[in-house]
Each structure stands twice: as C-alpha cells, then as structure tokens.
Amino acid sequence: MRFALIAMAGAVLLLSACSEDVSGSAPVSTAPVIAPGRPGEEARTLSPAEAATAVPSPSVNAADVRYVYDMIAHHRQALDMTALAPTRASSPKLKALAERIHYTQEPEIRAMTTWLDQERLQRPDHHAEHEGMQGMATAEQMAALKAASGPEFDRLFLQLMIAHHEGAIAMATTVLTKGSHLTIEQWATDVIADQTIEIRRMREMQAA
C-alpha cells in the first residue's frame, strides 16, 4: 500500500540522516525499499533515491470524486435494506449481520460527505440517479424485499446484499487503478477487505 511506502521511505531517510559523518558529507545509503504493487501487480524494489520521489500525490481526480458520489448512493441503499431486517428477518445471524453493515456504512457515508465538504465539492442529492450502478437492487427488487418476511426475507436479503457487496468491491477495485487520492485509496482498500469477509459469511448463511 502507499501508506506502507510512505513509512518505509521515511525510515530510509531517517537512517540516511543518521549515517552522516562529522565532516558533513552528504549521506549515502544503498538500502533497497520494497514498494507494494497495486492489486494484481508485483512489488518493486526501489533505490532510496527512487523511494524519496515515489510517494504519490494526494490530489483529487475525477475517478476519486465519481467513486465517492457512487459509494454514498450505494451505501444509502444498503442502509435501506438493513433497516428492514429487525422486523422482517427470521435469522438472528442475519439480523446481527445487517446491524453490523448498518453501523459500518452509516459512518462511512458521513466521512465521505465530510471529505466532499473539505474538498469544496458538492454533495450528491439524496435521491441521485443510480441506474446501472454495479450491485444496486432495482426498484422492483427493493419492493419485493420490503414485502417479504421470515425465511423469504432472509433469502432475498442475502441474494441482494451479496450482489450489492460484489458491486461495491468492483467499484473499489476500479478506483484503486484510476484514482489518485490517498484517502480514497484507503477507503477502497477497506471496502474490499470488509465486504469480502461479509460475502463469505452471507454465503455460509445461504448454505446452512
């Protein structure tokens, strides 16, 4: 990850500074730095000079902004789905999972809207269009979920939420390739890690 690279680059610079001799000559180090690659890419070995300039810029690009707008809408639908679970689900495990999703994604929405404010970017409308967005349930699917209860609700919830998570992971993977902002990269990495675990749990529930 880029954060690991920052830490390693800082360590190299610190070690180099400590190696100055009393004559005041410029520090010299030959210690290599391992730069983790992006998903699907191998790590690279950088010289200290390369490491000092390899830290990416924290600037925002269009892919970062698109990701935040889309993910806010994506998370809002997930909250709409999880809000139904306490009164409609029959499985205690599913209710617990829905609660976890809710209390994970609600703060993430607040963090993303705050980030938009800090970057002086407009917040997306609460009813922004999301047709064609990866993993989003259709209006008909949401209506069916709201009308269901008991085991049928559990079945539909797992089916829709697995697809929803898979869509979020695909979006996060894309921004890791196309985005440029360090904060967005960290959020995307967390989404991939957390939602991959939750997909595994939901598939276990489906198989039970």
The ranges assigned to domains in the chain are 2-53, 62-207
Residue 134 CA to residue 165 CA, distance in Å, equals 9
Q: pLDDT class for 59, splitting at 50, 70, 90? A: confident
Residue 124 CA to residue 133 CA, distance in Å, equals 15
Q: pLDDT class for 177, splitting at 50, 70, 90? A: very high
Name the residue among 138, 140, 137, 194 with its Cα closest to residue 160.
137
For the domain bounded by 62-207, which CATH number is listed?
1.20.1260.10
Q: 51 pLDDT exceeds 80?
A: no
Q: pLDDT class for 169, splitting at 50, 70, 90? A: very high
Q: 140 pLDDT exceeds 70?
A: yes
Q: What is the DSSP string of 64-91?
A: HHHHHHHHHHHHHHHHHHHTTHHHH---
Q: Which of 43-47, 83-87, 97-101, 129-133 has the lowest mean pLDDT?
A: 43-47
CA dihedral over 154, 159, 164, 165, signed as positive or negative: positive
Q: 44 pLDDT exceeds 90?
A: no
Q: pLDDT class for 121, splitting at 50, 70, 90? A: very high
Can you tell me the mean pLDDT for 96-119? 96
Q: CB-side exposure of 121: number of CA atoms within 13 Å?
A: 18
Can you tell me the mean pLDDT for 44-68? 70
pTM: 0.71
